[in-house]
Chain A
Amino acid sequence: MASVLEQPEGVTAGLVPDPMLPMPYRIQRVRQETDDTFTLELHPEDSARGLSFEPGQFNMLYVFGVGEVPISISSDPDDAPLIQHTTRVVGVVTKAMRRLKHGDTMGIRGPFGSHWPVQEAAGRDVVIVAGGIGLAPLRPALYRLMAEREKYRKIVLLYGTRTPEDMLYRHELEQWRGKFDLEIQVTVDRAASSWRGNVGVVTTMIPRAPFDPSNTVAMVCGPEVMMRFTVMELLKRGVVAERTYLSIERNMKCGIGFCGHCQYGPTFICKDGPVFAFHRVAAILGKSEI
């Protein structure tokens, strides 16, 4: 796993960076994805100090004078040091972030946390189940899987959103569907009669999705309730808990397991997560006391 404490290949060696020190990144592009989500494309002001990351890791994004928020990296790991973050406007910081423009600067700390088991999935079927904006943290895994397509058996993406208008990366999904040997099934919770695709929650696609459960690695990301029901369906289908991974979000602050804000039972999400094998969190997932 890459981290701020390791010098990635091609990056000038020097002092070990302080993980609490944001690095200045310049915004190259702001893309409106849906009504309430957008993607920032960022490049380090000092190209030699760019970060490398693994799919599933997150950064702390700092809007100067406003605050810092944890957001998963959503770009192709091979494009680093250029990185992308897709987020929804939900609070003060993301609202301020949405107002940033091309050429503006923001601070980035990271990458932090665990990553999707992309290498470990070699030789197996891979089923990716995404809900809503949960597709963003899975997108780097999809890039990596497709860059080494021959290493994997079937790759299936099951993607659920609220309405057709809420679909992320629509153009890219269409391209991928045509270009790669990739099964993509999209469903929405509700739609006008003009919508020609599936309607229903994403969990309903699992029983008939084309993968071999006995030899599958599953990666799941979305709202927590969606992940809980998705995991239940995957287990019912026969995917083993040890090969079922999910990305959990909590109140990440420091990113390095010092402050304790993101404590989740015996773990810290920022350090031990956000990606967990299901069996590690099965006993505490969905518990209101945790």
Chain B
Amino acid sequence: MIHTLEPILREHPFFHGMEDRHIQLIAGCSMNVRFEAGQVLFHEGDPADHFYLVREGLVSVQVMIPHDGLTTVQTVGAGEVLGWSWLFPPYRWHFDARAQPPTHALAFDGKCLRAKCEEDHDLGYEIYKRFMQIVTGRLEATRLQLLDMYGKRA
């Protein structure tokens, strides 16, 4: 008997309220993945052909800074979304991502999903709407980080 990922998708906060037909389309582009502690999910500059919904564990988004070394700028935990570079050309990662503890996630094939969004613009609108919320949330958080709120000026 083949088990699909639809029930898992429906339970994930990112897909709350999405129509069943859209969940079915998305499930066709998804798979379960597991990363060992320290395993790299992707490197800066690599093709961004997936995005991930973290189910368990923690992923560090990192950037190499000369003289400072690898610096973590964000972590993505259970219930959160990792990656939106698959949505926009040139479809390349801008950061590294590394699992901290062993991490379970759902991986979504970006090319597959982009093709389905082109075919079904309702699906595309749903996906872009949800990603826009993620992107605006991250932008706001990044602005707060830039303020250095807890620094000497605070």
Instruction: Judge: A and B partners, yes or no.
Output: yes
B24 at interface by CB-CB < 8 Å: no
B85 at interface by CB-CB < 8 Å: no
A175 at interface by CB-CB < 8 Å: no
Number of A-B contacts (CB under 8 A): 83
B109 at interface by CB-CB < 8 Å: no
Quick check: which of B27-35, B67-75, B119-127 contacts chain A, the rest being far away? B67-75
In the complex, per-residue mask of B52-92: 1 if CB is within 8 Å of any chain A CB, else 0: 00000010111000001111111101111000000000000
Q: Which residues of chain A come closer than 8 Å to B74, judged between CB atoms?
A: 199-200
Q: Verify B137–A204 contact, CB threshold 8 A.
A: yes
A191, A196, A197, A222: the one within 8 Å of B149 (CB):
A222
Chain A, 179-222, CB within 8 A of any chain B CB: 187, 189-193, 195-201, 203-204, 207-208, 222
Q: Verify A225–B147 contact, CB threshold 8 A.
A: yes
Q: Which residues of chain A come closer than 8 Å to B154, judged between CB atoms?
A: 132, 223
Chain A, 49-74, CB within 8 A of any chain B CB: none
Quick check: which of A112-120, A143-151, A158-166, A256-264 contacts chain B, the rest being far away? A158-166
B17 at interface by CB-CB < 8 Å: no
Chain B, 109-154, CB within 8 A of any chain A CB: 137, 140-141, 144-145, 147-152, 154
**Distance in angstroms between the alpha carbons of A55 and B25 in the assembled complex:** 54
**With A193-B62, A196-B100, A204-B137 in contact, is A223–B149 under 8 Å at CB?**
yes
**Distance in angstroms between the alpha carbons of A61 and B19 in the assembled complex:** 61
Sample of 20 A–B contacts (CB below 8 Å): A132-B149, A132-B154, A161-B150, A189-B145, A190-B73, A191-B72, A192-B70, A193-B69, A193-B72, A196-B101, A198-B58, A200-B74, A201-B141, A201-B145, A204-B141, A207-B13, A208-B80, A225-B149, A226-B149, A226-B150
**Distance in angstroms between the alpha carbons of A133 and B147 in the assembled complex:** 16
Please classify how large the interface on chain A is, using the bins under 10, 10 to 19, 20 to 34, 35 or more.
20 to 34
Q: Verify A90–B152 contact, CB threshold 8 A.
A: yes
Chain A, 229-288, CB within 8 A of any chain B CB: 229
A36, A131, A200, A223: the one within 8 Å of B75 (CB):
A200
Closest 5 pairs between A and B when the two form their complex, measured CB to CB: A132-B150, A193-B70, A162-B150, A223-B154, A201-B144
B77, B79, B141, B151: the one within 8 Å of A162 (CB):
B151
**Distance in angstroms between the alpha carbons of A90 and B153 in the assembled complex:** 9
Q: Which residues of chain B come closer than 8 Å to A161, judged between CB atoms?
A: 150
**Distance in angstroms between the alpha carbons of A190 and B13 in the assembled complex:** 26
Q: Verify B150–A160 contact, CB threshold 8 A.
A: yes
Question: What is the distance, in angstroms, from A6's C-beta to the closest C-beta of chain B?
Answer: 34
Q: Verify B80–A195 contact, CB threshold 8 A.
A: no
Q: Which residues of chain B come closer than 8 Å to A207, judged between CB atoms?
A: 13
Q: Which residues of chain B come closer than 8 Å to A190, judged between CB atoms?
A: 71-73, 145
Q: Verify B152–A36 contact, CB threshold 8 A.
A: yes
Question: What is the distance, in angstroms, from B149's C-beta to the closest C-beta of chain A?
Answer: 4
- Residue with the greatest number of chain B CB neighbours at <10 A, chosen from A161, A166, A229: A229
Q: Verify A193–B71 contact, CB threshold 8 A.
A: yes
Q: Which residues of chain A come closer than 8 Å to B71, judged between CB atoms?
A: 190-193
Q: Which residues of chain A come closer than 8 Å to B137, judged between CB atoms?
A: 204
**Distance in angstroms between the alpha carbons of A207 and B137 in the assembled complex:** 11
